[in-house]
Amino acid sequence: MRLFIILIVLLSFKTLSAQDISKQKWKHRVLLIFTSEENAEDYKIQLSFLKNSEEGFKERQLIIYEVLPHQYKSTLYKTKSNWKKEKQLYKKHMNFEDKFKVVLIGLDGKIKKIKNTPLTKQQLFGIIDAMPMRQSETQKN
């Protein structure tokens, strides 16, 4: 019985980040920024492209996840979480040869864009603004 409980706990930790992202479905669009190392040039460029964009993120219901091989953190508008230890999210989306990747997930939970180079704020907002659900949102306001 004790072994069974330990196994359940360990399995729940493995799916933590996937559950975290799946909880965003119908609440937020998700931008996953994957990097093999925190000092990588593409990663730094990507973060600089997104700097001072909180109002645009809020308007588009966008949450950002920065994902490294053994940890991740999220940013919802101006609120940043602490780094959380986790490997599965990185392993799920990154290949051995990948050093950097950006993945945009829509409100419906489906992948809308994958790119192996930094995405400018204008490109990101353009992709989101072209989505049918986003167009519907802007027509209501």
Residue 62 token pair: 């966008």
pTM for the model stands at: 0.82
- Structural contact between residues 113 and 129, judged by C-beta atoms closer than 8 angstroms: no
What per-residue confidence (pLDDT) applies to 125? 95
Digits of tens for pLDDT over the chain (141 positions)? 544 433 343 333 333 355 577 788 888 999 999 999 999 999 999 999 999 889 999 999 999 999 999 999 998 887 888 999 988 889 888 988 889 999 999 999 999 999 999 999 999 999 999 988 787 777 776
What per-residue confidence (pLDDT) applies to 14? 39
Domain that holds residue 53: 2-140
Domain count, the chain: 1
CATH assignment of the domain containing 8 = 3.40.30.10
| Residues forming a β-bridge with 35 | 100
